[in-house]
Structure 1
Amino acid sequence: MQMPMPSNETERVKALHRYKILDTSPEKVYDNLTRLAAYICQTPVAVISFVDSHRLWFKSKTGIDLPITEIPRNVGCFCTHAIMLPDLFTVQNATQDERFVSSDLVAAPLQVRFYAGAPLITPDGLSLGTLCVIDQKPRGGLTPEQTEALHILAYQVVTQLELRRNVTSLEKAVIERIKVETEMKELNQTLEHRVLERTSQLEVKTVELTRANKELQRSRDEMQTIAYTTTHDLKTPIVSIHGIASILKQRYQDKIDEEGQRYFNRLLDNVDFMGQLISDILDYTKISRHRKQEQRLETEKIVNEVIGQFSEKIQKKKIEVHFDAPLSEMVFDKDQLTQIFFHLIGNAIHFMGTQPRPAIHIGGRKADGAYTFYVKDNGIGIDPQYHEVIFAPFHRLKEVETEGTGIGLSIAQKIVHLAGGEIWLESKKGEGATFFVRLPQRELSV
């Protein structure tokens, strides 16, 4: 069977080998992620696999009792197709898909029918493999919540790879002087204990979920609690790692060569990024848990406060900010309205590019029972093919390097959707971007 081949195959395989993950021993942190993926998606099988040049190698597998750790790449592998896409790759019934009907994986003993795989994409945009869930029965697909959770877990697999590579590089220079490996093991053990504890609680709830549809909402709430608790508890060890690494760098500065200094700086940068990522994930998971306090707000005042938070960057980039029309008052939660404008204005600033006369225009109106406002910039613009995926968690454009974790627009979208509103984008590459938000008009309850 002729398998699809990425255009960047050589670069992709080299990147995979640089992580030094192939043919390593099983690790509980990866096994926990596959177990959690299978449980969330309600499938008997979940696998973390890496696509090498001629084989598919399994780092972790749940629900497969066969003593196999790899299979040839040309046997009709679903994962070979999955790494070609930036989003979820789904096969509802392999026996009715001409690409896989003759695949060895569809035949006994595996008998794959349903497949859903999230690509493991590195910070450089290279797809190394997949975190996939498998069923021996055809299925209609995953729910939006399951799809979102599978992407988050896939991102955690890549995060573990990044942490593993950084620690390995650091060991070459100063491993004898620090205790990062011990701390990481303790962190993994803590995470394992918490995940197993929560998973045990959710397994008990599963029996009740099969009896009535109303229990589905309870399961979703509990999964959000796990995500919130896990990311919240990660903040303290991340701060600790940053502090210890900073102290060691200063204390042994005269004993570390230039390469060691680079490793330390890279470690500190990644820890800073993880800290920001955890904060953003916490903001994302808290949206559904947030108790709204609706009040009558002066929208223009909120926007000016947000602009004030970006004043240093606005002055540095010499960006002109214009109000095209006065913004009307509206009834909404103040914190959530602030978050919407914060992420839209921040996005406009970050992707301004090298525009010689950078400008941001803000406007809106109240009509037809709704508030509609927009944030418009004359920056690099966004190709129409990315207008939907730009709102997906952790998605960042590759045209320009910028700060951030890629979850800001996801936060804004979730707030708007939970409020019964709409958010959309009008843009072309190189012609700036305009984000629109429409929120239903509300009145204060007496």
Structure 2
Amino acid sequence: MADLPKAPFLLGAAFAVLILIALVSIALLERTQGDRDRLLATVETEAQLDQLLADMRRLESGQRGYILTGDAEFLTPYRETLPRVDEKLTNIEAAIGGIPAQVERLGKLKPLIQAKRNELAESIRLFDAGKPAEAIGLVRGGLGLRIMDNIRDAVYAIKRANADSRAEQYAQSRSQEQWLLGTNIAAVGLIVLLGGVSLMMIHRANLAMRKAQNVLRNANSELEAAVAARTAELTAANEEIQKFAYIVSHDLRSPLVNIMGFTSELETLKGAIFHAGNGAGPNGANGALAHPGGPGAQPTKAALEEDFTEAIGFIKASITKMDRLINAVLTISREGNRSLKPERVDMNDLFQTIRSAIAHQAQEAEADIALEPLPSIVSDRLALEQIFSNLVDNALKYLRDDEKGRIRVTSAAHGGKVTFEVKDNGRGIAPRDQGRIFELFRRAGTQDKPGEGMGLAHVRALVRRLGGSISVHSTPGEGSVFSVTLPRTLPNQSKRIGA
């Protein structure tokens, strides 16, 4: 098993060498092809040069035959050969292929060709003009012979350079063929070696795999037992939590029902007690209990009724508050049974939805909510909406009155996680309260806004169930920054949301 991690490295290295050899072979083949093309070009150049010399001799023969005999038949090969000279020069220039030294030599040959053609044309013109003596004198003057010798020398210079280049190319081609042969032999040897090593590694891997399967089978048995035990523990713990929530809500709601009943009875008694004697009587014309003042004076009927009404009001307010708390606990308990539904969530669209939902509150508070471009993540949309709706709503709720509200939502990606920040310029949170605001039923600062202290506790529970974390950085009087770090992809789709 210890040698198995080395196998991919060794095989990878062998394949890399094999690929390198293949690339070298391809490069050598391309160079050999290039050398062969250049070799053919030198052969073609020499053939064209020989044909050019032959054409120049044919031109000269036609010119001399015409001048010496006056027979116009000699001009027929002259006229047929003349256009082929330019064609041969063009072919030679193409065969040279842009070799600087050869281009320079060809540049010296072209003026000589043109000079020879001019000399031939001039002698024929003189003869046609009735000046045969001058035409013959031009031929016998030796100018044409010298030009022809120079042409021959220039052609031979190009042919010698071609011969040298051909010999060099032939030597290079032979060397490349030897390299190609050696490379192919090395490739074949490496393939044979690679095949043997592969067979050996496959054999050893099979042995190691069988051993690993036995170990894994044993480990799976132990793991299944451990998972079963842990699952039973978690199931029992979850049932206890659900029972606790139910018992708390049931035990609290029962006395509340009784209180509500007694409150109704008190309201009925109040009407019977305080409104039965509205007429005149011993207590006075207005029905109020009349007692003399002094240290032992009793409260009047109006005072008793006011106290009675105030007491009932306190009872009702307490009942209402306790009922809200119980409903909040039950809400969290019910959400604990909701399975997460991972999906790709465009956070830009999600925050746009949140901003639209609270647009009226933001307008009344004269607050701006700015969103920077946010990435998409795979998570539970409903949980995300609850988390960030609560944070944005809190930021809007606790703005300062002395400055225009600014709420900004940003994000930063790092590895497989994304951190979303909700920043405001509101009241801020004192350092001693920054750790307590995430606790159940705990609030910080001036209690001038409605709430039961459950929002941030619920937010933290949701963030944890999504595999993330939440923190706050705040300065009193300057604002707060709530940072929510979540994985790009929900790590465990079987998690449930709970408090």
Structure 2 length as normaliser, TM-score?
0.41
Name the larger-Rg structure.
2
Structure 1 length as normaliser, TM-score?
0.45
Choose between structure 1 and 2: higher strand proportion: 1
